[in-house]
Each structure stands twice: as C-alpha cells, then as structure tokens.
Structure 1
Amino acid sequence: MTSKRRRTIEVEVHRRKPEFLWMFRKFARDRDDAGFKAYLSDHLDIQPDDPEYSAAMREFWNLVRALENEPRR
C-alpha cells in the first residue's frame, strides 16, 4: 500500500471515527463478519490482500469475544 493511500485511509478513519466505532461494535455484537468485511471494502477500500485487513479482522474477533463475556442487561 502506498503511503499516500495509507494517509488517505487514516484521515478518513479519523474524520468518521464515531461512525466506524459504532458500526464495528454493531457487526461484532451480531457476529456478522461478512458484513464487516463488506463494510471495510465499501467504506475504506481495504481489501483482503491489504495488511490493514488482517489487523482489522483480528480486532473484530477480539471485540466479538469481549462482547460475549460482557454481562447481559
């Protein structure tokens, strides 16, 4: 990934951080990894061969496990 593309993604994530965090938790709560993958691709142009993709998926599954351990209200 070029540094210009990486910087563009970083700026976009920072600008839309509240939306991304909300969507991240929503997909994790629903255990919807297919939806999360589509969201990464459509909204951030992060593809499966990008290094950020595997890092994002790791964080996604860590959040899924954390949410499973949260007490239900």
Structure 2
Amino acid sequence: MECFCEQKETYELKVEGDVGADPIWCNKCGCNLDIKDILISNTLTNELIEWVNRYGEWIDWDEDKLLPNGIELEEEHNK
C-alpha cells in the first residue's frame, strides 16, 4: 500500500476514525489509505465503513462543541 514513508509502502496499519477519511492509516507516516486497497473481507470493510461514518456523533457541528456527554460517547465509539 502506497504511503508517504521513505520506502513508499507500508504494512504497519492502524485503525482510526476521522471526519471524511477512510479508517485505515499508515502507522509510521500517518498517511490515510484507501480501504479498498486493504485485503480484508467485505464484511469487515462494511463494518469499518459503518463505524467510521458514525465518527463525530458526540459533536454538535452547528455549535462546534462537544455534546454534554460527548466524552463518554466518543469513548464508547472507540471501543
């Protein structure tokens, strides 16, 4: 998988949610990778996409602030 590392590819991945990004990242350089390039099952791909699409449910986007129980909601999402 191509990334920004010196060797231009990585096999060290991390799963992390972010707004508008696929949930797979290079663990070394932090490059966001296309989930379609990762050799995982369709079931896991769909689960990860559903998970990342819920990212930020603890944020009031109109007010740009956390909801009253935002920290707990984020912790639950990350579990």
Give 1 or 2: higher strand fraction: 2
Give 1 or 2: higher helix fraction: 1
TM-score normalised according to structure 2 size: 0.36
TM-score normalised according to structure 1 size: 0.38
Larger radius of gyration: 2
Bigger relative CO (Cα 8 Å, ≥ 6 apart): 1
